[in-house]
Structure 1
Amino acid sequence: MKFDELFLSPHQDLDGHISALIHAFHETDDSRLPYDRAHFIHQLSEAGMPSGEASLADYVERLAGLLPGISHLASPRYMGHMTAPLPAYTGELSRLLAMLNQNPMKMESSRLLSFLERESLARLHRLVYDQDDAFYQAHMHAKDSALGVMTSGGTIANVTALWLARNRACGDNLFALAAEGWRGVAVLGSRLMHYSFDKGMDLLGAGASAVHRLPVDEHNRLSIPALEAELARCKAERIKVLALVGVAGTTDFGSIDPLPEMADIAQREHIHLHIDAAWGGPTRFSSRYRDLLAGMERADTVTLDGHKQLLVPLGTGMLLCREPGLMMAVKREAPYAIRATSFDQGRFTLEGTRPANALYLDAAFHLIGVSGYARLIEENYDRARLMATLIEADPAFELMAAPVMNLLAYRCIPPHLQGRTPDESDNIQINAFNIALQKRQRAEGHSFVSRTARSVTRYGEQPLTLLRAVLLNPQIRREHIEALLAEQKRLGAELAQELFT
């Protein structure tokens, strides 16, 4: 196409072609083009820059060739990752958002959407902290305070929380602590903390070794005795603890740390408490399950992640602050854009440019709302309990932890080891078996679970390979779960012949 034509109305048939591609994509699974690294590399191996002379029809044809190789995340048999299928309205809304191309880091580049972002953050703040009307009227649109910030995801939200905790504890200069007699800094949490905390402490200059990962109990929650012992050790060795990190929905087990006890300790020790609720935060919508997160409202900061259980696109993360003035600890300005007298959210954000994804939240709040999210949470948590029941009833599987939320960790047992308690040698065989099984299932492409490597209390500290199912898609039915497990049993029988005979 000619350059000027690209800025005019799009080709009249483009909408129809894109809609057809989306429909065809949602009607298939990964088996249409099984994963083949060599094939994918061969398909996309051109390093030369295109001339730009292709027509829109030519590019649609290119897209049609790419889509079969893309992960079919919306399939109800795809239970491997924490990426939600999106409501049908998202496509048209994303078209609007892309063409508006607003940047809410500065009010001049987004105007009313800056206020929409603050309103959306206030709705989430109320979900977590439940302050009264007067609080939100005073702080939702206040100039020198913020109830939170939007980020491009949970990782940036967690890094921002560490940035806040560091600045609250010692300003922006870690080296100044040495003059006060401190020998180092630390962040304390369970060994199931997300790896974004290692990144954050590395970026802040303390190094990933400043993240102290502590033991968990038999329910995969941070051990409070271990936390108390580590606090005492840090005091004795003059290590300043910048933050305690609690997890509300670990990525491996969906477990929830003992948040009330952690809040008591943080209050007693005057330490910043951050709760990573990227996965579990929306549990607050459910009257049946919201008590699982008791104590979260006492956290100084809380991370949420919209592309998980809020059903909005990737790139929609949030950090919420209990105290509206807390964000001032990381306030930054620039004379050409983010001035001291401005109202801009960019004063408080690590990212200088980001899309106005609060519009996705606004749509979800109005179209899904409290009742829709409550239904999503409760039905998905029930699905996890159903899958756990099916696993426990079948000697071909071993459930590694009772479900707390809607994540399951389990493993498939080779036929010759079924019906006995595995020892260390058996577990080595089972590990290899489950790695091969997960890869084989992924290669066939009809269904999918992910895998992780963790120790569990019943087997001591021996690392185990675990299959990991995420029951997030509202279209998952019992027959999809049964089909996935049946496929694992079929593939497992085939692999056992290959590996153990």
Structure 2
Amino acid sequence: MSKSNPILSASLPSIEAYRQAIEQSSQAVVQWLQQPEMYQGKTIAELRECITLDFTVQGLGNQAAIARAVEYFLKDSLSVHHPQCVAHLHCPSLVVSQAAEVMINATNQSMDSWDQSPSATLIEIKLIEWLRAQVGYPSGDAGVFTSGGTQSNLMGLMLARDAFFARQGHAVQQDGLVGNLSKIKVLCSENAHFSVRKNMALLGLGYQSVTLVKTDQFARMDLNDLTEKVAQAKAKDEQILAIVATAGTTDAGAIDPLRAIAALAAQHQIWVHVDAAWGGALLLSEKYRDYLDGIESADSITLDFHKQFFQPISCGAFLLKEARHYELMRYQAAYLNSEFDEAQGVPNLVAKSLQTTRRFDALKLWMGLEALGQKQYAEIIDHGITLAQQAARYIVDQSSLALMMQPQLASVLFRYCPPTLAASGDTAVALLNQRIGDALLASGHANVGVTEFNGVTCLKMTLLNPTVRLEDIKALLALVVDTAEQLLAA
């Protein structure tokens, strides 16, 4: 191979090229981290115009390619670590997890078979065992790391579907779906994640299979309506293959009554999947762990670590209470997880995942847990919830702001609505709040979410950044009010 070989390898030229590329990129990131703006403020049209591809015949070389990435990507990226970037479940990341990404990317381990990821496979298995213990599941390693909540929810619903048909003596994996599919239902709250419907469509049962359960004043699944929906399904000769409970809804952070839902489901032999993509972080909480009471009763669980575990995207997990249900998706390939391997006890994780080639994302969580320890991890998780409660109390005292509901996790729903504007009608107030969110992002100063709560357009702060303090929130809310007044004046 020539000295110009671009592949990362053990050759001295390759190692030197790697060092130079990493150093150039790291220096650019350090400069970007120090820029005061949350966002450079380019519009969609401006970004579309300035971003070009330069795929020359000879190539630009590493240095020039990195420089172009800095100019056209990095400089115009959203600063998720900025104290006024609060629109979404989009967290800043742990420093040690950035170091993990360097190792993940350089080693390029593939998690489908042990001979492609020997130490990585065992680390992931041990982490799954540890996560199961935090949940309260029996000892074991039934579970796998995933790309995030949507994929984990898909796995839970797919196994629920196949277990449902297996109880009727039918193997979906072999023979596909049979019978009157319009009679098969999944129940979830009206505030459940959109991936429930999306995944039921992917599973061949369609949006029509999803029955929405009403929620209470705190956006949690209403047990009375759930009980009624179950009875209605039985009266219509419908069959419920799963109830999806949410532990941390996207906007309100609501946690459904997990233990009561599981008890009702057990009476009717219904699979319970808990989407704890956000609220699952409370497994490490010292103050709020009891919010997850009953999660150990679920048949399967979604966890996301690129939310309030502060991991770089992507990093999630799927946990399965009973390992026997993995048989429902069992498959073998001689080149990955042969019968010979299985007889020898070789842990090929491809049998547990919807993916084949898969990144070693578990390393980020492992290194984060070891670097911080459970106590510090608990403190930074709890900080967001406590800060949300403080912010809510402050909003209540502001004449021009209205709190939509008391926070449950690290999310605050509010709106700009001074008494002088209330007479203008809700349509005008809704439009103004939408424009406030748009104007703040366009200015580059802040990213505040715009959503709906009980049909009312409002603003949202998702407070995942453990470096943010109440004074930062007060400054952001002052900016919201100033922006609103400028829009009204214009």
Q: Scaled by the length of structure 1, what TM-score is found?
A: 0.90
Distance in 2, Cα, partners of 1:130 & 1:389: 37
Distance in 1, Cα, partners of 2:325 & 2:58: 48
Match of 2:116 among 109, 130, 145: 109
Q: CA deviation at 1:414?
A: 4.7
> Can you list the C-alpha shifts for 1:203-231, whole angstroms capped at 9, x where unaligned?
11000221111211111111111111111
Q: CA deviation at 1:385?
A: 0.7
**Residue 255 (structure 1) aligns with:** 254
**Residue 99 (structure 2) aligns with:** 92
Q: Judge conservation of contact 1:414–1:433 (CA < 8 Å) in 2.
A: no
Q: Gaps spanning 5+ residues in structure 1: where?
A: 141-146, 456-462
**Residue 126 (structure 2) aligns with:** 119
Distance in 2, Cα, partners of 1:9 & 1:154: 37
Equivalences for 1:124-273 in 2 at 5 Å?
124-129=131-136, 131=138, 135=139, 139-140=140-141, 147-170=142-165, 171-172=171-172, 175-178=177-180, 183-273=182-272
**Residue 409 (structure 1) aligns with:** 413
Distance in 2, Cα, partners of 1:51 & 1:238: 65
Equivalences for 1:283-294 in 2 at 5 Å?
283-294=282-293
AA matched with 1:125? R
Distance in 1, Cα, partners of 2:99 & 2:359: 16
Match of 2:61 among 47, 55, 60: 55
Distance in 2, Cα, partners of 1:314 & 1:52: 33
Could you say if the C-alpha distance between residues 193 and 50 of structure 1 is closer, same or farther in structure 2, counting changes exceeding 3 Å?
A: farther
**Residue 4 (structure 1) aligns with:** 5
Could you say if the C-alpha distance between residues 165 and 84 of structure 1 is closer, same or farther in structure 2, counting changes exceeding 3 Å?
A: same
Q: Judge conservation of contact 1:2–1:53 (CA < 8 Å) in 2.
A: no
AA matched with 1:364? G
Match of 2:382 among 378, 382, 387: 378
> Can you list the C-alpha shifts for 1:450-485, whole angstroms capped at 9, x where unaligned?
111231xxxxxxx21121111111110122101110
Q: CA deviation at 1:299?
A: 0.6
**Residue 399 (structure 1) aligns with:** 403
Q: Judge conservation of contact 1:186–1:239 (CA < 8 Å) in 2.
A: yes
Q: CA deviation at 1:415?
A: 5.9
Could you say if the C-alpha distance between residues 56 and 10 of structure 1 is closer, same or farther in structure 2, counting changes exceeding 3 Å?
A: farther
> Can you list the C-alpha shifts for 1:178-219, whole angstroms capped at 9, x where unaligned?
4xxx75211101011101111111111000221111211111
**Residue 83 (structure 1) aligns with:** 90
Q: Judge conservation of contact 1:415–1:493 (CA < 8 Å) in 2.
A: no
> Can you list the C-alpha shifts for 1:222-241, whole angstroms capped at 9, x where unaligned?
11111111111211222211
**Residue 168 (structure 2) aligns with:** none
Could you say if the C-alpha distance between residues 85 and 389 of structure 1 is closer, same or farther in structure 2, counting changes exceeding 3 Å?
A: same
Q: CA deviation at 1:9?
A: 1.6
AA matched with 1:479? E
Q: Judge conservation of contact 2:284–2:377 (CA < 8 Å) in 1.
A: yes
Q: CA deviation at 1:347?
A: 0.9
Could you say if the C-alpha distance between residues 192 and 320 of structure 1 is closer, same or farther in structure 2, counting changes exceeding 3 Å?
A: same
> Can you list the C-alpha shifts for 1:161-188, whole angstroms capped at 9, x where unaligned?
001100100041564344xxx7521110
Residue 365 of structure 2 corresponds to residue 361 of structure 1: yes
Match of 2:472 among 470, 480, 483: 480
AA matched with 1:242? L
Residue 41 of structure 2 corresponds to residue 73 of structure 1: no
SS at the partner of 1:368?
helix
Could you say if the C-alpha distance between residues 415 and 489 of structure 1 is closer, same or farther in structure 2, counting changes exceeding 3 Å?
A: farther
SS at the partner of 2:430?
helix
Distance in 2, Cα, partners of 1:304 & 1:247: 11
Could you say if the C-alpha distance between residues 29 and 304 of structure 1 is closer, same or farther in structure 2, counting changes exceeding 3 Å?
A: farther
Q: CA deviation at 1:437?
A: 0.4
Q: Judge conservation of contact 1:282–1:373 (CA < 8 Å) in 2.
A: no
Equivalences for 1:337-352 in 2 at 5 Å?
337-341=336-340, 342=342, 343-352=347-356
Could you say if the C-alpha distance between residues 31 and 318 of structure 1 is closer, same or farther in structure 2, counting changes exceeding 3 Å?
A: closer
SS at the partner of 1:89?
helix
**Structure 1 stretch displaced more, 258-267 or 365-374:** 365-374
Give aligned pairs, total.
Answer: 470
Distance in 1, Cα, partners of 2:157 & 2:263: 20
AA matched with 2:467? Q
Q: Judge conservation of contact 2:113–2:349 (CA < 8 Å) in 1.
A: yes
Q: What is the aligned-residue identity percentage?
A: 27
**Residue 16 (structure 1) aligns with:** 23
Q: CA deviation at 1:30?
A: 4.6
Q: Judge conservation of contact 2:259–2:293 (CA < 8 Å) in 1.
A: yes
SS at the partner of 2:188?
strand
AA matched with 1:494? Q
Q: CA deviation at 1:103?
A: 0.7
Q: Gaps spanning 5+ residues in structure 2: where?
A: 9-13, 166-170
Q: CA deviation at 1:289?
A: 0.8
> Can you list the C-alpha shifts for 1:125-171, whole angstroms capped at 9, x where unaligned?
1111154xxx3xxx34xxxxxx2111111110000000110010004
Distance in 1, Cα, partners of 2:386 & 2:301: 26
AA matched with 1:53? G
Distance in 2, Cα, partners of 1:166 & 1:290: 30
Could you say if the C-alpha distance between residues 436 and 365 of structure 1 is closer, same or farther in structure 2, counting changes exceeding 3 Å?
A: same
Match of 2:488 among 456, 474, 496: 496
Residue 276 of structure 2 corresponds to residue 277 of structure 1: yes
**Structure 1 stretch displaced more, 247-256 or 205-214:** 205-214
**Structure 1 stretch displaced more, 184-193 or 28-37:** 28-37
SS at the partner of 1:176?
coil
Supply the RMSD in Å over aligned alpha carbons.
1.9
Distance in 1, Cα, partners of 2:326 & 2:221: 28
